Chain A
Amino acid sequence: MADAVFVPAARRRFNPWPAVIFIVLAVLAVLFLAPTAGVLLSSIKTNRDIALGALWTVPSELYWGNFAEVLGNPAVHRYFANTLLVTAPATVASIALGSLAGYVFAKLPFRGSNLLFLVVVSGMFFPPQAILIPLFRLFNAMDLIDTLYPIVIIHIAMGIPICTLLMRNFFATVPTALREAAILEGANEWQVLTRVALPLSLPALAVLATLQFTWVWNDFLWPLIFTQSDEKRTIMLGIVNLKGQYSVAWGVQGSLSLIASLPTLVVFLFFQRYFIKGMTMGAVKG
């Protein structure tokens, strides 16, 4: 490269963009982490410390009383149980139904299936507020208010579009030759789905399980609308309910917030191992 021109480092033009981007990202990271840090700090302080205004300071002594109070509270146990009773069936059912619909749209198309797919997926764009009152009247007429059923049903219904979209797109990447090979070996469509397509879709299922679980677990709106008694409240409403008579119990609420976020963290960590690429590697010539 005889023509290459050497430019001394000092004379190279300074490009400010990497620095600007770094600073913006750093500021955003701090802004995003600040509430979590605040909650974490509050959870290990006494109410007195917090009341004195030392909200953002690191406590001189760790106070675990808030956690003990939360973990010993029978109401919190009930909130957890209720949330699990809503989250587990809603997550499983929405993924199961979305997988079935996604498989049909991807591998068994029929006349009008693309239009139907668009209709199903458009369900994602309904704002909950728009259907809130009709749903309340519906479940009220069915005498299901102050039960967990409406929350489960709504989360299944609202989860189906995203589950269908994701699973359909994933199944579309599973080579059709695999389905045909399985059919020639004697498999019916159910066996193709359960023995071939789904085992190959573990990454997509893991993503969906994490998304759905987190979404349903953290939901505040629907439990607020459809439950009234403390016996039926879920954990997110429980955090709000844990306030003192005359003052906000910041410490207790902080510790419960942290404890309440643990299941979603566990779910993420559990499914993280399935977030692997190349599951279909070697299936077909590539």
Chain B
Amino acid sequence: MAQLALQDVSKRFGSVLAVDGVDLSIEHGEFAVLVGPSGCGKTTTLRMISGLESATAGRILIGGRDVTNVAPARRGVAMVFQSYALFPHMTAAQNIGFGLRLAKVPKAEIVRRVAEVAATLQIEALLGRYPRELSGGQRQRVAIGRSIIRDPQVFLFDEPLSNLDAALRVRMRLEIARLRDRLDATMVYVTHDQTEAMTLADRIVVFNHGRIEQVGAPEELYDTPANRFVAGFIGAPAMNFIPAAIEATEGRELRVRFGPASLPAGHLRDAAPGPTTLGIRPEHLYIASAAEADFHGRVEIVEKLGAESLAHLQTEFTAEPITIRISEQPAVQPGDEVPVRVGRERFHLFGEAGAIL
């Protein structure tokens, strides 16, 4: 039985349908990350799970119990907010123990459990401090402590790292990953940062326009996206999309043609002659010899990232530059004309409606 299940859940704000018939099932101990662009409905979905927002339609089940109309505190969920939401007039210890005090847990028990949580998060020295005396990362740890102490069935994270600087975000990401292993808890995590999604998730749920586009393991979404939206959203830098056409040769072999290039497309089971969009990830484009090249492009900009570089190429057959990832290849300079080869069987084709072929 799923620990958390959403059955045909919708949310309407006036005339706006923010979440449109979402079905989702998350198993016990699973770390599910909801990703999508701003306004896609991921945070609204999280808030409906927490009970802070009521569902317009559908059912929400936690541990098999229908909690659709249950008060937030009785759902067995705890939430870590993007803004930390620490009570500024309380110390870190009082913040962590707030829920237990409301539940009238004996004082000695609260002290014991706060100390336990503080030890887990290594914030023992901070317990007497007020939120204003803590750094961003420390505040986030206290906020996580407040959610841990109640031993909830499901943890909800609403973009918890988006207010931290880049270095701290990486550290906190590791800490959340460790925490997740230690607690063996079910976690639902909302983010718009796909690196967080890829590194933390057991499964990623991609939202767009209030609907789920695809659910799957990070590598599954990366390697076999269900449609053009997922293909473009997952992966940084984004997948290159090139207008192309599928053609059948005299020998009945299917080939995809774009610009001067023609690639075999026999491995794509749903491909049929007609217009298509070719999707190629930057790491599946290689600088090759002129003889092996599928097309040539003029280097417009080179972004040096340290271990690797990204080159943006202008071509005659695309309006947008094509991005290629260069790691251990000869360095290129803006203005260079470079021969490029497409990795065979490493590209995707999308139909006119965006579905993968």
Q: Residues on A close to B: CB < 8 A?
A: 175, 177-178, 180-187, 191, 196, 199-200, 278-285
C-beta contact mask, B50-91 vs A, less than 8 Å → 1, else 0?
111000000000000000000011000111011111111100
Other-chain contact of B77, A180, A184, A200, A279 (Cβ < 8 Å): A184
Flag if A282 contacts B52 (CB, 8 Å): no
Other-chain contact of A280, B82, B88, B139, B163 (Cβ < 8 Å): B88
**Chain B residue with Cβ nearest A280:** B88
B235 CB–A CB distance under 8 Å: no
Q: Residues on B close to A: CB < 8 A?
A: 50-52, 72-73, 77-79, 81-89, 98-99, 102-103, 130-134, 136, 139, 146, 150, 163
Flag if B72 contacts A183 (CB, 8 Å): yes
Flag if A185 contacts B102 (CB, 8 Å): yes
- A170 to chain B: closest CB distance in Å? 14
Flag if A181 contacts B79 (CB, 8 Å): yes
Compute how far the CA of A193 lies from the CA of B304 in the bound complex, rounded to whole angstroms.
53
Flag if B81 contacts A180 (CB, 8 Å): yes
> Which residues from B are CB-within-8-Å of A177?
81-83, 85
| Given A185-B73, A282-B130, 8 further pairs, Cβ under 8 A | A175-B85, A178-B87, A180-B52, A180-B81, A185-B99, A187-B102, A200-B89, A282-B132
Compute how far the CA of A114 lies from the CA of B95 in the bound complex, rounded to whole angstroms.
33
**Chain A residue with Cβ nearest B77:** A184
Compute how far the CA of A181 lies from the CA of B83 in the bound complex, rounded to whole angstroms.
11
The 8 closest A-B pairs by CB, nearest first: A282-B132, A282-B131, A185-B99, A284-B83, A186-B73, A181-B85, A177-B85, A283-B88
Compute how far the CA of A250 lies from the CA of B94 in the bound complex, rounded to whole angstroms.
57
- A37 to chain B: closest CB distance in Å? 42
Compute how far the CA of A178 lies from the CA of B146 in the bound complex, rounded to whole angstroms.
13
Compute how far the CA of A34 lies from the CA of B73 in the bound complex, rounded to whole angstroms.
61
Among B72, B77, B103, the one with the most A-chain Cβ atoms within 10 Å of its Cβ is: B72
Flag if B131 contacts A283 (CB, 8 Å): yes
Pull 20 A–B residue pairs with CB atoms less than 8 Å apart, ordered by A: A177-B81, A177-B83, A178-B85, A182-B87, A183-B52, A186-B73, A281-B88, A281-B131, A282-B86, A282-B88, A282-B130, A282-B132, A282-B133, A282-B134, A282-B139, A283-B83, A283-B86, A284-B83, A284-B86, A285-B83
- B87 to chain A: closest CB distance in Å? 6
Flag if B133 contacts A184 (CB, 8 Å): no
> Which residues from A are CB-within-8-Å of B73?
183-187
Among B50, B77, B132, the one with the most A-chain Cβ atoms within 10 Å of its Cβ is: B132
- A187 to chain B: closest CB distance in Å? 6
Given A183-B72, A186-B73, check contact A284 B85 (CB 8 Å). yes
Compute how far the CA of A177 lies from the CA of B146 in the bound complex, rounded to whole angstroms.
14
Flag if B139 contacts A184 (CB, 8 Å): no
**Chain B residue with Cβ nearest A196:** B87
